[in-house]
Amino acid sequence: MTNLQQLLKEACEMVENELKPGEIFMVRDLFRGFEWNRIPRGDRTRLGGMFFAYAQGDDGSKLVEPTDKTPQNQQRYRRR
């Protein structure tokens, strides 16, 4: 399986290339269903934390902004 850095890179590329400004999404939406389900739960949690840090940093804050959380405590983002 690919490592977390590679998964983060794929997620960032998906945001940059596939999402339109204003779209609301969660990290799991950036992966096909079977790809997301193949990532171990702990790694999915870590990937979510890494993506949140990316969104807060200089690179990601230009493309993504955290919005709110779902009732299941999953972070939502908006493409800028």
For residues 80 and 48, give the distance between their C-alpha atoms in angstroms, rounded to a whole number: 19
Q: What are the structural domain ranges in the chain?
A: 4-79
Output the pTM of the full model: 0.92
Per-10-residue mean pLDDT, the chain, length 80:
87 96 97 93 96 90 94 96
pLDDT at 1: 47
* DSSP letter string, the chain: ---HHHHHHHHHHHHHHHPPTT-EE-GGGGS-HHHHHHS-HHHHHHHHHHHHHHHHSTTGGGTEEEEEE-TT--EEEEE-
